[in-house]
Structure 1
Amino acid sequence: MAKKADILIRFGERVRELRAERGYSQEAFAHICELDRTYVGGIERGERNLALRNIERIAESLDISISELMKGL
């Protein structure tokens, strides 16, 4: 049985997918979230363990609920 990818990697892939669907560059998205672009890059690569407040910022910036952001993880 294949091991499921780490939650940080799956979350980062989800954020990248939703950001790209909305046509945001990483830099523009970081600005909307009020986060540093390098931090957003780290999230998308699964290198950052986010605080709940930053998860909330990301969901709000994508105009979705936290549960929708977490869908499929």
Structure 2
Amino acid sequence: MIKIDEVNNPASCLNKANDDELLFVLLERDKAAADTVRYWCQRRIELGLNKPDDKQIIEAMHWVDQVSLI
């Protein structure tokens, strides 16, 4: 998710947030980011909020794969 793509995409997570909703951003250069997103995916699945093949989980894990190469 490139910043400009998130800003310009009305369906992005960023743009779906409520105007008064708090956000937390992880940057690819943060050494803890990939592990944090892996954990988030795992917890979403454990809580029954997602399935492993849900688009949201697949996109998150794709992000992890990309930033893990850096």
Q: TM-score range by the shorter chain?
A: 0.3 to 0.5
User: Quick check: which one's helix share is greater?
Assistant: 1
TM-score relative to the length of structure 1:
0.33
TM-score relative to the length of structure 2:
0.34
